[in-house]
Amino acid sequence: MSNSTHELRPSAVPARRKVERSWLGRAWIAAPSFALCWLGLACGSKPPTSNQLGGGQVFTSADAGAPDASSTGSGYTNGGVNFGLDEPDPGANSSCRPLTCEELSAECGAASDGCGGVLLCGTCPGGSICTESDHRCELPASVCAGVGFECGLLADACGVGTSCGACSPGEVCNGRTGQCGACEPLTCASGACGSAPDGCGGTLDCGTCAEGEACDAISHVCTACVPTTCAAERAECGQRSDGCGVALDCGTCPSGLTCIQNQCVPPLPPIECQHQNANCGTIASSCTGQAVQCGNCLAGESCIDNRCRACVPATCEERGAVCGTVSDGCGGTLTCGTCAEGTPCYGNQCCTPQTCAERGLNCGSVSDGCGGSVECGVCQGAETCAGTGTANVCGVCVPRTCDGRCGGQVSNGCGGILDCGGCGAGETCYNEACCTPAGSCADVNPAANCGSVPDGCGDFIQCGGCSVQGETCAGAGTANVCEVCVPRVCGGGPGLQCGDQSDGCGGILHCGTCQSGADVCNGGSCCAPRSCADVGRSCGSVPGGNGCGGPLDCGPCDGSGVCLPSGGCCIPRTCTCSDQGSLPDNCGGTIDCPGCGPQ
């Protein structure tokens, strides 16, 4: 480490520069990759380049000069395989075969599959980290030693910094080399002015400016006095020089925004969000499994599958609603009118309740077709409700007889008991009928020599096992026949697209992850989960779930809203002075209104 001191060189105040970069369809203001020190030059030991992560500075293996981390775009390579996640879309190149985590020798983190998709290769156990260069789980001490770092920070494959240690008192860490050494203080140079830190805990006093000049409050350089304001510089936040030696306070940013180069912008998202193609909501880190916040969407956008998408509110007509309230599909609520007096609003449709007579029913309680119920009466004499088998219709019950049935005592269907006895020798009672079961496997399948086959009467016949080495039952696909097993392969049909699956011969296939970041692995097949917007619901639990084996709950309605069976939110009517008695609440229920009495 050189013992010479750095010389501060005067320079004009650099023009304000706003650099915008597009990431997942959103504009971000690029912050400087290192902390600007006095006069825009490095303070003390020269700081390395870095990634800005959540307001902190974390250095990558490229900063450390790791021998196995060569740059390829914003990705990196290992053994000739590019782990970068910004490769061009293969587009119409249908011949592209996605790589697997095993082929990449990656055991953790998110990596490109070489065809525009993302592989999630697993998380690391506690205490180890996923290395940024080759996606392997290793102890932090081994990672630091591998690049020769004794201090500072290194980033894992998800952009989270891990410490390589601290320096002894009196020493500082050179972030580029990861080595401890003596601090090299800054000195004043011609043209510098004012007081500022020397980078090693001391203070420099660089004097005053010549007559007619002012010491710039931010850059500490003597310049001609040209007064300005925050408004003139379009500075929204932070400190800004007034051009004549005073630091202007340009305010703070609203909640949810951060100040970068005097502009209020959304905070830069964690690198892991970019790796997983997410720009809103919460994802699970591909390195640790912990929750990672990817930010919020702008006004007019909705976060769908961790991507911000512009949302155009639907109309009542588009939602097929003529009454009540429904979601507009963008977080708002539509009021779609009311129905005529006495006609309830059910499922956002004006509904005319059905009577028992209209449906030919005369007993029991039935739905009125509009979310309510109606009592259809009771039966008289020997008749019972559904006595002849027709629901909600009175009739005289006709008892069943045995008529060849077996099974001992069974119901006669009218509240009595039948004794239908048993079966003859060699028979068994199956589904209330006497059945003669097959005597052997050969009676069912002459070629069967292993496993079990049904005997035709509700039981199974055991056909034995395979004795020849290498053969398994149905090994080549023929049921109940001993054959040499032919292992299944990933991609060989439904259930072999993703995840860990049996190869059918006692082994395990590692079929990787689904190519689309929005797909999930369901029983070995890639499945795109449905969202509440996809099924047109704004509340309640969706029958059939997300279509991929998981639940889909669209939450409760806002305020006093009632969730209808159709999945729409409905605001029940309230009583007025003219309302009295039990009335439809327009949401499938009733409301008891006492009236207001004499006025």
pLDDT, one tens digit per residue, over 520-565 is 888 888 888 888 888 888 888 888 888 888 888 888 887 667 888 8
- 191 lies in some domain: yes
Nearest to 306 by CA among 320, 298, 296: 296
For 458, residues 6+ apart whose C-beta sits below 8 A from its C-beta are 428, 430, 431, 435
- 11 lies in some domain: yes
Task: Please tell me the predicted confidence (pLDDT) of residue 15.
Answer: 29
Question: If you write DSSP's letter for every residue of 302-368 in order, what string do you get?
Answer: EEETTEEEE--PPPTTTTT-SSSEEE-SSS-EEE---PPTT--EETTEE--PPPTTTTT--SSEEE-
Q: What share of the chain is helix, strand, coil (3-state, %, to 5)?
A: 5, 25, 70
Confidence of residue 68 (pLDDT cuts 50, 70, 90): very low
Q: Read off the pLDDT of residues 305-339 as tens digits, 9 standing for 90 and up.
A: 888 888 788 899 988 899 988 888 776 788 999 99
Task: Please tell me the predicted confidence (pLDDT) of residue 480.
Answer: 92
Q: Is the pLDDT of residue 88 over 50?
A: no
DSSP 47: P
Q: Is the pLDDT of residue 431 over 50?
A: yes
Structure-token match 């305020």, residue found: 559
Nearest to 243 by CA among 227, 231, 230, 229: 227
DSSP 287: T
Confidence of residue 578 (pLDDT cuts 50, 70, 90): low
CA angle 355, 397, 402 (to 5 degrees): 140
DSSP H or E stretch at residue 442: helix 441-444
Alpha-carbon gap, residue 388 to 399, rounded angstroms:
9
| Contact status, residue 438 vs residue 461, Cβ threshold 8 Å | yes
Task: Please tell me the predicted confidence (pLDDT) of residue 455.
Answer: 92
- 486 lies in some domain: no
Structural domain span for residue 29: 6-86+98-202
Task: Please tell me the predicted confidence (pLDDT) of residue 11.
Answer: 30
- Residue 354's Cβ-count burial label (10 Å; 0-12, 13-18, 19+) is middle
Residue 61, SS3 per DSSP? helix
Question: Could you give the percent of the chain with pLDDT greater than 70?
Answer: 82
Residue 394: CB atoms within 10 A of its CB come to 22
Confidence of residue 598 (pLDDT cuts 50, 70, 90): low
Count the helices and strands in the chain (H runs, E runs).
Answer: 5, 53
- Residue 577's Cβ-count burial label (10 Å; 0-12, 13-18, 19+) is exposed
Our count of domains for the chain comes to 1
Q: Read off the pLDDT of residues 455-510 as tens digits, 9 standing for 90 and up.
A: 999 999 999 989 888 888 888 888 999 998 888 888 878 888 888 888 877 788 88
- 565 lies in some domain: no
For 390, residues 6+ apart whose C-beta sits below 8 A from its C-beta are none
Q: How many CA atoms lie within 13 A of 397 on its CB side?
A: 18
Alpha-carbon gap, residue 482 to 401, rounded angstroms:
48
> Where do the H-state alpha helices sit in 140-203?
140-146
How many Å from the N-terminal Cα to the C-terminal Cα in the chain? 96
- 43 lies in some domain: yes
Identify the residue with better confidence: 14 or 422: 422
Mean local confidence (pLDDT), 201-226: 87
Task: Please tell me the predicted confidence (pLDDT) of residue 597.
Answer: 57
Mean pLDDT is lowest, of 125-139, 219-233, 405-419, for 405-419
- 157 lies in some domain: yes
Structure-token match 């099974």, residue found: 407
- 556 lies in some domain: no
- 418 lies in some domain: no
Average pLDDT, the chain: 78
